[in-house]
Amino acid sequence: MNWQSEKKQRKIFLLVSIMIVTWTVNSQAIIIRSKGTNRQYRQGDWITYTTTRFVRNIALGQEYVYFATTGGITRYNFYSNTWDYPWTVSNGLPDNNIFLVAQDFNTGYLWCTSESSISYLESASRLWFNTFYDEIGLRGDDDISSIGFGNGRVFIVSSNGTWYASDNYSANFSPIDFSQNDDGITWYGAKRKREDAIPHYFMSDGFLFDETQNYIDDLQFRHFPITTWLKDEWQNMWIGTWGLGAGRGNTSTQRLELLKFGLWDVTVDAIAKDDDRFWLGGIQSHEEPSGITNWDMQSDDPQYYEAYLLTGFDTDKVTSIAVDGNTVWLGTLDGLTRFDRGKNIWRTYTVVHNLVDNRISDLAVDDQYLWIGTASGVSKLVKSTVGTDSLSIKHIQFHQLGKRQIFDIDLAENELWVGTEIGLFRYDIEKDHGAYYSSYVDPAARPVYALSLYGDELWYGTDEGVAGFNVKTGKRFDPPARFINDDLEINRILADRAAVWVATNSGVYKYDRDAGRWVNFTIEDGLTSNNVYALYLESDFIWFGTGAGLTKFYWNSPYRID
């Protein structure tokens, strides 16, 4: 599939049916041939949060309980009872889809296996090192089922029964013929001694634990299998589930609590923030029911909203989010959804309510109006009429805009700027009048896929690259600020005082204003996917919504020059 068709699918909302065997795994199957952590960055400069509620394996460490998930290795600090950030592709792993995790207490190294490699985290340097299966002679139809530690060595056993060994400070594995007693080896995975059966636990929030079948039921009678469990020396029972994440059982009180962490689903097309809570949603590449995430990362308290379980929330295919006081607006592929948090009421507005088109691309909110970019023009919702019998949604500038495809919108004082399929449109809100903006440099017929206002500057992206100008004087920005590149596949732009950020399907581009140059960040730097759909700037950090999760980047680190 070429990039023009891919861009058209996401921008014009023509969803393509994709054959996926198991969405919980394949949706995050980002595999890179990386030998380990990128030493240009410090650990923590790049952090990715993705879907980690599908757990395969558990290991106890000296400070953390580690969970091997389809979205990396999650780490729960059992002293502070808090989650730390997970280990993912952003930190040096070649793959987020983790099968085994193991702790070597002799060296302090943390080991794991993924679809393509065995990796270890060096305890002192906090660097990951990866060895790929083909480098140790493991065939493509085989994988690692067990990891063991003993006698100063690391042992791995494949599913076909082949043994390999290495010293415990590297991953220089060679096949061995092991015929000795392995009682002195501490095993993880298939060869680990089976834990006792899980005792009965009581749960809250409508969950029901069935210890006879080893699954958890929710209020919708959905079964979530328990995939792994492990008891620690304090008599805590740590469990992993397939769909509900990690949990901890207290044998004294017989209570089992779920330890929620991560996103409900993996693709992030929209980011909004309300105080300390992020609102995250997207268009997923699978046909399973999905939802949106509302997460305060400081308090480890994610909340999940599944559309098909909520009356008034018609679809989970979210393209944009705007937070306005106690109201959260969601632009979707099937209308405009409003969530009244005070009353806990969901409501979806469509063409029946005079919306010009149900396929929404972007939202912008001011004191009086909610502006709605759609596949057939721009609608204006009068906020004061919401919740009344006289709800007002109007199609603005019908004759000038017509039913043009709208890709992006942004507000500046009394103006609304619109990126359309045939160029930039400038709308005067007070005068209720607008016109297409063009010059000899930028023909009006060129689609504008993304735009961003900063002060008097307008930056925008077309199929020829990134350009900008001063909206007061009309002065165009010359190269290097003007970036000509017809392979960018631009999704979003965010301009700020220090830099201009461009989200594309080939990573993120940053224009450093002081240095006067463009820098490209990709998976090799710390992104978990090169398909970047959303941007949110927060002081020295910037958040990227990608096709494989939400990535946080410490862009303004004083220790590094990009």
For residues 100 and 174, state if they share a domain: yes
Sign of the CA dihedral with 20 first, then 22, 25, and 31 last:
negative
Q: Phi and psi at residue 401, in whole multiples of 5°? A: -80, -30
448-453-456 Cα angle (round to 5):
120
Quickly list DSSP for 264-304: SSS---EEEEETTEEEEEB--SSSS--EEEEEETTTTEEEE
Enter the tokens of residue 531. 């398909």
189/291 same-domain check: no
What's at 131, amino acid-wise? T
Based on the fold, state whether residues 280 and 185 are members of the same structural domain.
no
pLDDT of residue 561: 87
Give the C-alpha separation, 245 to 242, whole Å: 7
Pairwise CA distance, residues 58 & 89, whole Å = 19
The tokens for 98 are: 């983790």
Determine, yes or no, domain membership for 315: yes
CA gap 106, 151 in Å, rounded: 10
Indicate if 164 and 299 belong to the same structural domain.
Answer: no
Cite the beta strand spans of 421-531 per DSSP E: 423-428, 433-437, 450-454, 457-462, 465-470, 483-484, 490-495, 499-504, 507-512, 517-521
On whether residue 3 sits in a domain, the answer given is no
Going edge to edge, which strands form the sheet with 541-546? 46-49, 549-554, 541-546, 532-538
Q: Can you read off the two tokens belonging to residue 497?
A: 């005082």
Q: Hey, what amino acid is at 551?
A: T
200 C-beta neighbours (distance < 10 Å), count: 12
Three-state DSSP at 541 gives strand
Query: Given this model, what pLDDT does residue 159 score?
Result: 92
**Rounded distance between C-alpha atoms, residue 203 and residue 254, angstroms:** 9
In angstroms, rounded to a whole number, what is the distance separating the alpha carbons of residues 69 and 99?
Answer: 7
The answer to whether residue 216 sits within a structural domain is yes
* The last residue of a domain, from among 327, 349, 371: 349
> Among 287, 129, 264, 158, which residue's Cα sits nearest to residue 550?
264
Does 255 lie in the same domain as 276? Answer: no
**All residues at 6 or more sequence positions from 367 whose CB lies less than 8 Å from its CB, including other chains:** none
Q: Which range of residues forms the domain containing residue 157?
A: 34-259
Burial of 316-351, coded b for 16+ CB within 10 Å and e otherwise, reads bbbbbbbbbeebbbbbbbbbbbbbeeeeeebbbbbe
Quick one: 276 and 234 in the same domain? no
**Do 314 and 233 lie in a common domain?**
no
> How does pLDDT run across 437-496, given as a tens digit for each residue?
876 555 556 899 999 999 999 999 999 999 999 999 989 999 999 998 888 899 999 999
Residues 299 and 158 in one domain: no
Please report the pLDDT score of residue 31 as a whole number. Answer: 61
In a domain, 127, yes or no: yes
Measured in residues, the chain has a length of: 562
Q: Is residue 380 situated within a structural domain?
A: no
Same domain, 240 and 284: no
Residue 314 lies in a domain: yes
Alpha carbon distances (Å) from 462 to 9, 134, 522, 549:
16, 42, 21, 25
Determine if the peptide bond prior to 480 is cis (ω within 30°).
yes
Q: What is the 3-state composition of the chain as percent helix, strand, coil, each rounded to the nearest 5?
A: 5, 45, 45
Q: What is the pTM of this model?
A: 0.92
CA separation for the pair 82, 70 (Å, rounded): 20
Structural domain includes residue 13: no
Tell me which amino acid residue 532 is.
V
123 and 228 share one domain: yes
Rounded CA-CA distance 426/434 in Å is 5
Q: Residue 107 belongs to a domain with what CATH number?
A: 2.130.10
Q: Final residue of a domain: which of 194, 227, 259?
A: 259
Are 289 and 242 members of one domain? no
528 belongs to a structural domain? no
Q: Over the range 161-183, which residues count as b (16 or more CB within 10 Å of their CB) and which as e?
A: ebbbbbebeebebeeeeeeeebe
In the chain, the number of structural domains is 2
> What CATH number does residue 293 fall under?
2.40.10
Task: Chunk the chain into consecutive blocks of 10 residues (it has 562) and report each block's average pLDDT, rounded to whole numbers.
Answer: 41 34 39 86 97 97 97 97 96 96 97 96 96 91 93 94 94 87 89 88 95 93 95 94 97 94 97 94 90 90 94 96 96 97 95 96 97 96 94 89 93 94 93 82 76 96 93 92 90 97 97 96 96 97 97 96 87
Q: What is the pLDDT of residue 285?
A: 87
210/278 same-domain check: no
Residue where one domain finishes, among candidates 324, 349, 374: 349
